[in-house]
Structures are given as structure tokens and as C-alpha cells.
Copies of this chain bind each other. A is one copy, B any other.
Amino acid sequence: MEQKNTKSLQKLSKLRRQHKGLINLMPLQTGGMLTDAAKEALTEFGDGYSICDFCQGSLCNITNPAIRDFVRELLPQFLGCDVATITHGAREAKFMVMHSLAKPGDSILVDANRHYTTVVAAERVGLNVVEVPNSGHPEFRVDVNEYAPLIKKHTPKLILLTYPDGNYGNLPDAKRLGEIAQEYNIPYILNGAYAVGRMLVSMEEIGADFIIGSGHKSMASAGPVGILGMKKKWEETVLRKSDTYGNKEIELLGCSIRGVPLITLMASFPYVKERINHWDEQVSKAQWFSAELEKLGFEQLGEKPHRHDLLHFNTPELYEISKRVREKGYFLYKELRERGIWGPQPGLTKSFKLSTFAADRQQLGFVIDSFKAILSKYS
């Protein structure tokens, strides 16, 4: 036991990341890489509770560092919402909205492409989850018009749309769903964990009641941190204050992300605000990359033409190779890593997701050539 402990303790003495400096195509990570400003802020505010030096009882009202301006002014404008707050992440934002608007036994209506945490958050509240199906292989599209009959049938307490989903990178017609939500007068959550910070998304223009984003997924932040925007009319429900402590929001347990991830979100924000203007280039880069991989026999799933950097491929050729090599499914991870590329989850070869967001065309060209070389090496 003692010896085992010593070994475990030793593992903590040099915590090194193995994928540093590689071309990063990992969809979870490409939107969360820190800016230089965020890296500096990380060191500056690394010590526990150091952002709370001048707190007067409410995290979002701290003026030094300038959390108040960021949360009260910059975020609402960026998100096209009336009121914004900071959360531990997108999933925690979903939970707090569900927990505020619905009661155990209530139903909610979500798209079939929803993140797993949508279901788990609902389960934590005790809700029934009804799903609007997708169109199945190969595009897995969600037609938001199908929300209407299911609203009539299940009278859900709220509806949620994942925009885009994290499996196929599909962008359903969020604005049309805004009209439907208004028609049936049902609160509408837009989960934009893969949108906010990558592309322009306006809650107001879409007609949603809530918009959710993820700092570590799409806003160049350390993990975890999320943002939640809402219409003014929901402020008193979701951001209701404690009966005992009048300046503490119940759903935030007083304050949410009281530490470095918030500082990196703030430090990266000027850059993130600017980068969404280049979304068209991101989309054309993704489409070109996808077309090149399809030439190798890969099949891109999800919408075509694709409108997001998150791409899902079926890769039967790679799967065939994995069945006959010693490393099994890990051969692909190893081959790519030797070439300085990090993307598909280690072990996967049959199908996997890639994101072109953080790599430039030259790097992506090298990735395409690398896939070619790997296929030909084992053919």
C-alpha cells in the first residue's frame, strides 16, 4: 500500500501534457486554445480566490478585475441577450435553467442530436425527455418543424435545440424554432456550446429565451467555464436571490466560477469577439478539408455542404487496417501522432470526429497528405 502510494504520488510530481505543440484537430479542444493574453492572466490569477480581492458580495459585480463590465455589458451585447451570467459550463447552465423552470415529472423537448449532458441535467431535475428525431444516416438532420406536433402532444415546460450538435456539426434552423416557440409560448434554450465564440449567434435574432455557451469549448478559455444569456423576463426566475442572502443567486450557489477559467474567458474575449468575423473562412476551410478526405474514401456524415468546422467521418478503410495490425485501433492515433497530428480519439478507426477550427490550410494539407500516406503504407 505504502509503495503504491509513493508511486501514485510520484505521478503527480511531473504533470506533462503529451499533445502539446501538435496540430490539434480534436473537436473538444480546437475552440478552447488559449490566447497569449489568457496565458498571462492564468499565471496572474492562478492563486485560489485571487479574483475575489475586491469582491463586495457578488462575483458578477466585481470591478477589479472588470468582471462587471464583462458580464453586464460586453456579454449581453455579444450574445444578443438582455441579461448574462457566468456558469461552471454549458451543462451547468442547462441544469440551472431546467431546475428553475420545470418540476420533477415535467417534460422537456430536445433535439435527438443533443449532448448527453442535456439528458443528464434533465435527469438530475427529474424531467422526462422527449426527443425530436433526426433524419438518420448520412445527414442526421433535425427538422425543427417537427417540434410543433410534439409540443402539442407532450406540452413540455421548455424546448432545447443544440446548435450545432457536437456529433455531426449540423446547424438546424434555430430561427424557425424561435417562431414556433413564440407561437406556443414555450421557453426556448439554444445550446450554442459549439457556436458562441466561433460564429455570430444572436439570441434575439434567433428568438430564443436562453442562450448557452462554453468557454473551454469555443471561447479560448481554460476549463471549465460557461456563459448563460437570457431574456430580461427570466432574470427573476433563473437568477432569483436567496431569501436569507439578498445578493446571492440561488442557482449559482452565491457565485459560480470563482477562479482562473473566468479570467481566461475575459482575457481572450477581445480576440474571440473579433474572430467570429472570419467564420466564412472557417466554413470554406472545413468544406475543402472534408472534400479532400472524401476523395480518400472517407464518408462525411452530417449536413452537406457542411457549415461548421466539426466534421464526422466514416472511415471503413482505416477500420479494415485496424483489424489486421498489432496495435488494433490505436494504430491510427500512433501514426498521426508520429506525424505531429492530434485529432481522432485514441482507439477509434471506424468513425471519428475532427475539427478544422484551429489549423490553417497548410497544416490541414499536411493532415490530408498524412491520411493518404497512412492508407498507402498499410494498403
Instruction: Give A residues with C-beta under 8 Å from B.
Output: 4-5, 8-9, 11-13, 15-20, 26, 28-29, 31-34, 37-54, 64-66, 69-70, 73-74, 77, 88-89, 91-92, 95, 99, 116-117, 119-121, 123-124, 215-217, 220-225, 242-245, 248, 250-251, 253-254, 256-261, 263-264, 266-267, 269-270, 273, 342, 346
Apart from A12-B269, A88-B92, 12 more pairs, CB < 8 Å: A9-B74, A13-B270, A15-B44, A18-B64, A29-B47, A29-B48, A29-B49, A48-B216, A99-B124, A117-B254, A120-B250, A216-B259
List of 10 A-B pairs having minimum Cβ-Cβ separation, nearest first: A32-B48, A223-B259, A48-B216, A11-B66, A8-B69, A28-B49, A91-B253, A15-B41, A48-B223, A222-B260
Minimal Cβ-Cβ distance residue in B for A220: B48
The distance in angstroms between the C-alpha atoms of A46 and B32, with both chains bound, is 9
The distance in angstroms between the C-alpha atoms of A259 and B47, with both chains bound, is 15
The distance in angstroms between the C-alpha atoms of A336 and B156, with both chains bound, is 57
CB atoms of B254 and A48 under 8 A apart: no
CB atoms of A261 and B264 under 8 A apart: no
Copies per complex? Answer: 2
CB atoms of B46 and A264 under 8 A apart: yes
The distance in angstroms between the C-alpha atoms of A259 and B259, with both chains bound, is 11
The distance in angstroms between the C-alpha atoms of A20 and B266, with both chains bound, is 19
CB atoms of B70 and A12 under 8 A apart: yes
CB atoms of A15 and B258 under 8 A apart: no
Given contacts A38-B46, A120-B242, contact A4 B216 (CB under 8 A): no
A266 cross-chain contacts in B, Cβ below 8 A: 12, 15
CB atoms of A224 and B15 under 8 A apart: no
The distance in angstroms between the C-alpha atoms of A227 and B116, with both chains bound, is 24
